[in-house]
Amino acid sequence: MKFASVRVVTQNFAALIAFYQTLSGIEAKHLADGFAEMHFDGAVLAISSEQLVKRFNAGAAIAAANRSAILEFETENVDAVFERMKASGGNIVQEPTAMPWGNRSLLLRDPDGNLVNLFSRPER
């Protein structure tokens, strides 16, 4: 079995695409009206409008209702991402902080309130 992607369901399709494009610098691939994918190194983030889920997935997911999952992205320079997101008006939850296990971590919320962790591993 291969882990294929994580899909975020939203009522705010354009805003979510813009957030993750600003965050990553990766262009979203629009595969259908209300559905796009962003191909990261090692993972795919899919973004779907809630309308598509209602139409094709029996309304099984509810937009902006997540409070248990954290989307995590590894980056070489957390501080550079922090400055970019701060300049774009991003919702900063926790500024870059050194974690006890050595990672440097930045917490944000995307436009739907999903928690996003960006981290860098310590140099070894």
Q: What is the pTM of this model?
A: 0.91
Write out the two tokens for 23: 């965050």
DSSP letters spanning 75-89: -S-HHHHHHHHHHTT
Q: Supply the CATH classification number for the domain 6-120.
A: 3.10.180.10
Mean of all residue pLDDT scores within the chain = 94
pLDDT tens digits for 5-31?
999 999 999 999 999 999 999 999 999
pLDDT tens digits for 44-75?
999 999 999 888 888 899 999 988 999 999 99
